[in-house]
Amino acid sequence: MGHGTCAGVALKAALQYSEKSTAARKVIIFISDGYMTCPGLPADEYSRRIVNEITGKNAAKVEIHSLIFGEDEAVSTFFPSELSRKNNGTFTRIKP
């Protein structure tokens, strides 16, 4: 199988938990180093697929905010920025 950062499973679980919440405001905070690699799929394809899947499942309009830590300019910010943009959240890159 290999290693990777398959955030889709965690984001789907977070949405399921939020559906059970009775809170007036529901928020998910996605924290990452910015790498989106999952064995078996190119990173850009996986990123697009998960953004679309999570957005489609987010019927409750839960805010999803993304925080990316690190200085590596080679890291794509597509996934966290699109995830947040399409789910009423904000995207922030934090450099040490």
- Give me the domain span that covers residue 75: 7-94
- When divided into structural domains, the chain yields a total of 1
Instruction: Look at residue 43 and tell me if it is in a domain.
Output: yes
C-alpha distances in angstroms, 22 versus 18, 29, 58? 8, 18, 16
- Type of residue at 1: M
Instruction: Look at residue 2 and tell me if it is in a domain.
Output: no
| Distance between CA atoms of residues 93 and 68, nearest Å | 5
Q: The CATH number of the domain where 63 resides is what? A: 3.40.50.410
Give pLDDT tens digits for 49-79.
999 999 999 999 999 999 998 777 667 788 9
pTM metric for this prediction: 0.88
Q: State whether residue 92 is helix, strand or coil.
A: strand
Looking up tokens 């200085």 gives 71
Give the mean pLDDT of the chain.
88
Total residues found in the chain within this entry: 96
Instruction: Look at residue 50 and tell me if it is in a domain.
Output: yes
Lowest mean pLDDT among 50-54, 55-59, 80-84, 91-95: 91-95
Instruction: Look at residue 46 and tell me if it is in a domain.
Output: yes
Q: How confident is the model at residue 33 (pLDDT cuts 50, 70, 90)?
A: confident
